[in-house]
Structure 1
Amino acid sequence: MAIGGFAQDETGHTVGRTAAHARWVPAARDLLAGVAARPMGTIGHADFAARIQADTGVSALVPASKWLGNCLTAVAEAARADGIPCLTALVVTTDGKVGELYDGALAAYDRPEPASSRERENLAATERIACYQWAGAPEPAGGWRAKAPVVRSSSRSAASRPRASAARAEARPMSFCPSCFMALPATGRCDFCA
């Protein structure tokens, strides 16, 4: 790798971070505008990194963990300069969170650093709604509500399947004992009154 080399363009020339960002940022905006046009759309960190590199022909010479945060901050700075919502709120981890990489985007919008990870995720969820509205995404039934996104990826891991089953189990209505008002177990018989 050449001194100052950060990425390689489609011709095989080594380029620095500034040159890579000059190509990645507009591609990222186009990509994220498409994601925002889908109700509750998000994109995973790995998919985002792969797509902007493939779309531009500029490939980083270091792992995404070394450059993704700086790239997301540059995308947020460009979005703010264009007067649009923070599109980087749509880029999430495999568990559907923006994580600490979102702090650069908050700084780009002159917003205070979140006091907790929960506050960060709430800020990002609210910002995602602004992105969907900006992009003209169809409003979901029941209106827009800030909630954790469902990450859609080209591959589903076995680890993600049990969480989906658990979510379905939590969504079932609970039954209560008519005598003591305790939640009934799956058997339908109260453990206290039976």
Structure 2
Amino acid sequence: MTTEPGTYRVADNSPVAFVDALAVWVPLAHEELVTTARRYNAVIKYKQLGEHVQERSGIRTRMLLTNWIGKLLEEVAILAKAAGGPPLTSLCVRQDGTIGDGYAKAPKSVTDVPGEDIEVYAAEHRLLCYRAYNAVGLPADGGRPELTKEVAERRAARRAATEPVPRPRCPTCYTELPALGCCDYCA
């Protein structure tokens, strides 16, 4: 019984050590994140980034994406920090638009501490990326941190669900109408 390698070169199905694959994938991921940073409010999904580095490198892995993408992003964060660049990994999000759990632990400056809301924290970092790479569509005022579209929509829906529904008022005396809809004072 033959066992296929977990990480392999597509051309000949030869095994590739995962650390060697990472060494090839990290610069490709960094480059793709810089490309993403050049479009204001753009993000890339884990799956897209994972597919990109595998396709471009000709090295694939049979591991589940969740088992290796974090390590790739960690290495990209180290590379970006060493180069004095912004935290590019803030641009890579899950399918649901949220930042991964590991983002709070990503390498950054010692004074940079995540607040209570990791999504807002990542949005602030994404803005740094857009500014650093002169993103197309960046407003003249430098823009503002924005949640991903998916996160913003979920939060807006939650807020709307918890806000009280205004009750109708009498057009004459402006008191709140009872359930039957007739004003007890003006009827």
Deviation, 1:184, is 3.5
Deviation, 1:52, is 1.3
* C-alpha RMSD over aligned residues: 3.1
Secondary structure of 2:146 counterpart: coil
Matched, 1:25 2:4: no
Question: Hey, what does 2:49 align to over in structure 1?
Answer: 48
Structure 1 CA distance, aligned partners of 2:112 and 2:45? 25
Shift in CA distance, 60/113, structure 1 to aligned 2, threshold 3 Å? farther
Secondary structure of 1:62 counterpart: coil
Shift in CA distance, 96/75, structure 1 to aligned 2, threshold 3 Å? same
Alignment TM-score, normalising by the size of structure 1: 0.71
Question: Hey, what does 1:145 align to over in structure 2?
Answer: 144
Question: Hey, what does 1:135 align to over in structure 2?
Answer: 133
Question: Hey, what does 1:126 align to over in structure 2?
Answer: 124
Secondary structure of 1:14 counterpart: coil
Structure 1 CA distance, aligned partners of 2:110 and 2:6? 28
Deviation, 1:88, is 0.5
Deviation, 1:80, is 0.9
Structure 1: where are the runs of 5+ without partners?
A: 152-159, 171-181
Deviation, 1:104, is 4.0
Is 2:115–2:121's contact at 8 Å kept on the other side of the alignment?
A: no
Deviation, 1:108, is 5.1
Structure 2: where are the runs of 5+ without partners?
A: 178-187
Deviations 1:37-57, CA, capped at 9 Å, x for gaps: 111000111111111111111
Question: Hey, what does 1:71 align to over in structure 2?
Answer: 72
Alignment TM-score, normalising by the size of structure 2: 0.73
Amino acid at match of 1:121: E
Deviations 1:99-144, CA, capped at 9 Å, x for gaps: 2131342x3544677464x2x2222111100100111113137752
Identity over aligned pairs, percent: 28
Shift in CA distance, 25/109, structure 1 to aligned 2, threshold 3 Å? farther
Question: Hey, what does 2:94 align to over in structure 1?
Answer: 93
Shift in CA distance, 60/103, structure 1 to aligned 2, threshold 3 Å? farther
Structure 2 CA distance, aligned partners of 1:13 and 1:97? 35
| Max Rg structure | 2
